[in-house]
């Protein structure tokens, strides 16, 4: 069963000048699942997410990925291990085309990023892979369009494509539906489901309809502590979860 767990946090705690934002959180994410981290405003979910991706260093606790203790490692080192946070790259260069954005991202594992001005022949070898990724996220009709001209929802798809270029084993999505129109929400939700077919996804998300539809497991945080965990049908009926959300919305 341990091999079924790809990411595990034990006793995860973060203090800011005496304020405990995350307190003794234990989290286990199953391989090839979609796991959502939710909670009302001030629950500590964003802090927890930043701890898991090491954009924040935990005050105490340990984090293991594929059985390896990654506590204290840099986000870049963790990404090279296959645990990649979408949108951390911010590699959407507005005046490059969609194709060229993905080609730049594809260079990163080769350790020769940002050399697109040096060798057209080298980049041309990445064309097939870039176009495959672009098609996978539904952007094939926009391949030659500058990224700045993409609608907001399509930019989100491009960000996912550049993340997939790193060939992650596990993808962490930070509020992937934030700011999207209804038709874009449906599109990105379908994309997340497709991406998760052969990867693991952990996401922080406010849209409860999306969470209910996509997630295999949901972890609910409140005031920095884990309140409940399980499938949506179970946690949505949990008395403490209902109490935590009453009057607060799903923020």
DSSP string, 71-127: TT--HHHHHHTTEEETTSS----TTSBHHHHHHHHHHGGGT-TT-TTT-HHHHHTTH
Angle at 153 between CA 217 and CA 236, to 5 degrees: 25
Mean pLDDT of 81-107: 82
Residues 54 and 103 grouped into a single domain: no
**CA atoms within 13 Å, Cβ hemisphere of 162:** 27
Residues 83 and 144 grouped into a single domain: no
Compute the distance between CA of residue 227 and CA of residue 187 in angstroms, rounded to an integer. 31
Q: Coil, strand, or helix at residue 27?
A: strand
Q: Is the pLDDT of residue 242 over 70?
A: yes
Percent of the chain surpassing pLDDT 70: 88
Mean pLDDT of 107-128: 63
Nearest 10 degrees: Cα torsion 152, 154, 159, 162: -150
In the chain, how many domains are there? 2
Domain boundary among 124, 149, 165: 165
**Domain span holding position 95:** 90-165
Mean pLDDT of 14-25: 94
Residue 236: phi and psi, rounded to 5, are -70, -15
Compute the distance between CA of residue 28 and CA of residue 40 in angstroms, rounded to an integer. 21
17 φ/ψ sector (left φ>0, alpha ψ -120 to 50, else beta): left
Is the C-alpha dihedral spanning 248, 17, 78, 132 positive or negative? positive
Residues 220 and 175 grouped into a single domain: yes
Q: Please state the pTM of the whole predicted model.
A: 0.87
Q: Is the pLDDT of residue 88 over 60?
A: no
Q: Which of 52-61, 119-128, 154-163, 210-219 has the lowest mean pLDDT?
A: 119-128
pLDDT at 56: 93
Mean pLDDT of 89-114: 75
Residues 156 and 225 grouped into a single domain: no
Q: Is the pLDDT of residue 44 over 80?
A: yes
Percent of the chain surpassing pLDDT 90: 59
Residues 82 and 3 grouped into a single domain: yes
């Amino acid at each position: 069963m341990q091999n079924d767990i790809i990411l595990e946090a034990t006793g995860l705690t973060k203090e800011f000048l005496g304020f405990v934002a995350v307190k003794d959180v234990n989290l286990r994410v199953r391989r090839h699942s979609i796991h959502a981290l939710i909670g009302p405003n001030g629950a500590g979910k964003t802090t927890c997410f930043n701890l898991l991706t090491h954009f924040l260093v935990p005050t105490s606790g340990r984090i293991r990925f594929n059985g390896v203790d990654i506590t204290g490692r840099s986000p870049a080192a963790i990404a090279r291990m296959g645990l990649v946070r979408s949108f951390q790259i911010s590699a959407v260069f507005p005046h490059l085309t969609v194709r060229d954005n993905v080609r730049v991202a594809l260079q990163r594992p080769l350790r020769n990023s940002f050399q697109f001005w040096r060798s057209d022949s080298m980049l041309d070898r990445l064309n097939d892979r870039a176009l495959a990724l672009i098609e996978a996220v539904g952007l094939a009709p926009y391949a030659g369009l500058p990224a700045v001209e993409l609608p907001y929802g399509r930019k989100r798809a491009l960000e996912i494509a550049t993340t997939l270029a790193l060939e992650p084993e596990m993808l962490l999505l930070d509020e992937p539906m934030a700011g999207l129109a209804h038709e874009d929400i449906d599109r990105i939700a379908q994309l997340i489901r497709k991406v998760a077919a052969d990867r693991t996804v952990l996401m922080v998300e406010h849209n409860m309809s999306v969470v209910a539809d996509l997630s295999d497991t949901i972890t609910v945080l409140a005031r920095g502590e884990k309140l409940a965990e399980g499938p949506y049908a179970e946690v949505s009926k949990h008395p403490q979860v209902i109490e935590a959300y009453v009057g607060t919305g799903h923020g």
